[in-house]
Structure 1
Amino acid sequence: MEENVGKSTEIKSIEDFVKDGRIDDAVHLIALYLGDSTEDNYIDRLEDIIELLLSLHGGRIVLRFLIENIIIDIPSLLENLSKKDSVLRYTFLLLLKTICENECDLFLPYSEDLLNSEDPNVREADLQLLVYMAGGDNVFDDESLIKNIASKLADEKEFVVEKASQALKAIGKKSSSLVIKILTDCTKEISDLSENEDLKNKISDVLMSFVTIETIEEIVEAHEKKEDRLGIEESEITDKELALRKKELEIKKKKLELGEKEKELEEKAIKEKQKVLRIKEELLEEETKLSEEEVTAIKLPKKKIPKKLKKVESMLLDKELELKKKDLEIKMKKLELEEKEKALEEME
C-alpha cells in the first residue's frame, strides 16, 4: 500500500514538472524513479511513465529526451520484454505505437541490429515497431534495412516470418517501388531453387498486398524505358565496336605497308652494300695489279735502254698511273653521289 502511495506521489510530481515546463526536473525524477525499480516492476513503472508522458502536452519532448539519452534504453528494453509472456510483451509494444508513428527517427537507428538478434522474440518485437513506424507519415528509403526485413521471410520461426510480411506490406504502401525492386531481386536469386517455393509464395503475397493496376503500369513503363535505354546503349556500343574494328584494320594495313617498305629499303641497302663491295674489290685488284707490275719491273734484268727511250717509257708509265688514279677518283665520286641520292630519297 505504501509503495502504491509512493508511486502515485512520484508520478504526480513528474506530471506537475512537465505541466510547469520544468523538463530537466521531470527527466531527473524519471531517471531516479526508473533507477529504483526492480527487475519485476521495471516494465510496470516504465509503462506508467510512457502513458503519463503521452497524455501530457510537452510529454513527447521529455520522452524523446529520455530515449535519446538512453535513460530509456530501447534495445535493453526489448531484450527484457522477450523474457516476459507474450501478452505483456504485445501490450507494452502497443504502448509504443504512437511514439513510433510520430518519432520514427528514435527507433530506426536500432532496427537493423535488433533484426539480427539471436532471440526470435526480439526480432519479432523490432518488426512490430517497424509496422508501427510505417503506419505514420514515415517513408522508408533505407534499402539495407528493407533487405534485412525481407530476409526475415525465410526466418526459422514462423511468427517472425508473419511479422516480417506485415512490416513489408506496411512499408510498401508508401515505398512500393523500392520494396518491389528488392523483393523482385530476391525472387530472381531463388528462382532456380525449387525448395524455396514457399518463400517465393510469401514474397508474392507481400507484393499483391500493395501492387495496384497503376503500380503495375508504372513498373511496365519503367521496364520499357529501361529496355529502350539499354537498346540505345547497345546500339552505341555496337557503333563503337565497329569504329574500333575499322581503326584496327587501318592500323594493320599501315603496319603491312611499313613492313613492305622496310623490306624494300633493306633490299636496296643490301644491293648498295654489294655495289660498294664490288667497287672496293675492283680498287683492290687494281692496286694489287699495280703492285705486281712494280715488283716485276724491279725483278726484270736491267737492260741498257737508251736514255731517250727510258724517258719516253717513264712518261708513259706516269701517264698510265695518273689515268688509273683519275679513274679510281671518278668511281669514288660516283659512289658518293649515289649514296647522297639515296639519302635524299629516304628523306622524301
Structure 2
Amino acid sequence: MTELENERKEMDAIKELIVEGKIDDAVQRIAQYLNQTMEENYIDALENIIETISTLHGGRTVIRFLIENNILDIPGLIENLSKKDPLLRYSFLLLLKDICENEGDLFLPYSENLLISDDPNVREANLQLLIFMAGGEKLDVEQQSLIETIASKLNDEKEFVAEKAIQVLKLIGKKSPSVITHILTEYAKNYPEKEDLKKRIDLILKSIVTVERIEEIVEEEAKEAETEEKIFKEESDLKKKKIELKKEQLELKEKVQELEEKAIEKKEKALKIKKELLEEKEIELIEKAREEIKIEELEKSEEEILDKKLELKKIDLEIEKKKLELEEKEKELEKKAILEKEKAIKLKEELIEKEKQITNIELELKQKEIKRKEQEIINHETKKIKERFEEEKHGE
C-alpha cells in the first residue's frame, strides 16, 4: 500500500469517526496521525485534516478540541507556515477562514504575541487570521491592547505587513469606529514626523468615518456635552443641598443640645425634690421607729434579762465542761509524758549496756594486741639466737 493510499485510508477513518459522532476518538486519532508525521510533511498533513473535516458536521468541534488540547499548536503552526511560499501560506490560511470567523476566540489569545514576532511572515499570517476574525459575525475585536499592537504594525518595516494591518483596522473600525478613531489618533500623535503613517491612518479613518457617521459623532459629542452640563448642574445642586443640609444639621444639633441641657436641669430638680421628700420621710420613719423601740424595750426588757441570765448559765456550764475536758487531756498528756520518760530511761540503760560491751571489746582487743607484740618480740629474739648459734657452729 502506497503512502498516498495510507493517507486516504487514515482520512476516511477520521471522517467516519466524526460522522458517527465519536469526537473524542477522532481527536485522538488525529493526534496519533500528526505525531507519526515527519516535520517536513506536518503542514501538508494538517492541511489534509482541515480539508477533510472542516466541512463535516462536527468537524469544527474537532478542530476546537485540537486547539484547546494543544494538539494543533497555533503559534507553532503559523511559524511553520512562515517558511512556506506566500501562495501556499495563504491557501492554507484560507482553510482556517471559516474557523476564524466562527471560532475566533480560539485564535485571539495568541494574536498579540504573534504580532510582535521577529518574522514578518508570522506577523502577516496572524494579521490575515485577524482579518478573518474581524470579518466574522460572532466576535468583536475590541481589546485595546491588541488594537494598539495592530496599529503599531502600520509602522512596520515591511510594506505587506502594514497593508494587512490597514485591512484589519478597517474591518474592526466598521464595528467599533470610535475605538479605532481614538486609538489611531493617539498613536499618530507619537509620530508627527512620519507622513506614511499619517496617510495610512487617514486612509483607515476615511473608510470608517462616513458623512452619516460624522453626523452621528457630532450628535454624540453634543449629547456628551449636554450630559456633562447636566452632570455639572446636578453636582452643583447637590453641593448646594449638601451645604444646606449641613446648616440644618448644625441647627438641629444646637437644638438637641439645648433640649438635653433642659432635660438635665429638669432631672436635677426632680432629684432634689426626691431627696427632700426622702429625707422628710426618713425623719418621720426614724421618729416612729424610736417610739416603737422604746415601747418594745420597756415590754421586753424583763424577758430579755431572764433570757440573758439563762444564756449566761448555759455559758458557765459550757465553760465547766471545757475545763473538765482540758483536765482530762492534761492527765492523758501526763500519762503519755511518763511513758515517754520510761522509754527514755530504758533507752539510756540500753546505751550504757552497749557502752560497757564496747569498752570490754576494746580491752580485749588491746590485750590481744599486747600479746601479739610480745609474741613478735619473742620470735625475733629466738631468730637472733638461732642465727648466733649457727654462726658459732660454723666458726668451730
- Quickly name the TM-score band, shorter chain normalised: 0.5 to 0.7
Structure 1 CA distance, aligned partners of 2:225 and 2:198? Answer: 25
Instruction: Give the alignment of 1:246-257 within 5 angstroms.
Output: none
1:30 Cα offset (Å): 0.4
1:203 Cα offset (Å): 0.2
Instruction: Give the alignment of 1:183-332 within 5 angstroms.
Output: 183-190=184-191, 193=192, 195-228=193-226
Q: Does 1:10 align with 2:10?
A: yes
Structure 2 CA distance, aligned partners of 1:207 and 1:188? Answer: 15
1:185 Cα offset (Å): 2.0
Structure 2 CA distance, aligned partners of 1:74 and 1:31? Answer: 15
1:49 Cα offset (Å): 0.4
List alignment gaps of at least 5 residues for structure 2: 239-396
1:236 Cα offset (Å): 9.2
Equivalent residue number for residue 157 of structure 2: 156
Q: C-alpha offsets along residues 224-244 of structure 1, whole Å, 9 cap, x if unaligned?
A: 34445566778899999xxxx
Equivalent residue number for residue 74 of structure 2: 74
Q: C-alpha offsets along residues 64-88 of structure 1, whole Å, 9 cap, x if unaligned?
A: 1001111000000001111111111
Equivalent residue number for residue 93 of structure 1: 93
Name the SS of the counterpart of 2:87 in structure 1: helix
CA-based RMSD of the aligned residues comes to 2.3
1:139 Cα offset (Å): 1.8
Equivalent residue number for residue 359 of structure 2: none
Structure 1 CA distance, aligned partners of 2:233 and 2:180? Answer: 32
List alignment gaps of at least 5 residues for structure 1: 241-348
1:237–1:189 distance in 2 versus 1, CA, 3 Å: farther
Structure 2 CA distance, aligned partners of 1:178 and 1:12? Answer: 47
Equivalent residue number for residue 167 of structure 1: 168
Equivalent residue number for residue 182 of structure 2: 181
Question: Which residue identity lines up with residue 166 of structure 2 in the other structure?
Answer: S
Which structure exhibits the higher relative contact order, with contacts defined as CA atoms closer than 8 Å and separated by 6 or more residues? 1
Question: Which residue identity lines up with residue 129 of structure 2 in the other structure?
Answer: L
Q: How many residues align?
A: 239
Equivalent residue number for residue 121 of structure 2: 121
Equivalent residue number for residue 33 of structure 1: 33
Equivalent residue number for residue 144 of structure 2: 143
1:229–1:14 distance in 2 versus 1, CA, 3 Å: same
Name the SS of the counterpart of 2:129 in structure 1: helix
Q: Kindly, what percent of the aligned residue pairs are identical? A: 58
Q: C-alpha offsets along residues 157-205 of structure 1, whole Å, 9 cap, x if unaligned?
A: 1111000000001111212221122112223444xx3x21221111000
Name the SS of the counterpart of 2:54 in structure 1: helix
Name the SS of the counterpart of 2:99 in structure 1: helix
Equivalent residue number for residue 132 of structure 1: 132
Structure 1 CA distance, aligned partners of 2:49 and 2:178? Answer: 39
Structure 2 CA distance, aligned partners of 1:119 and 1:60? Answer: 29
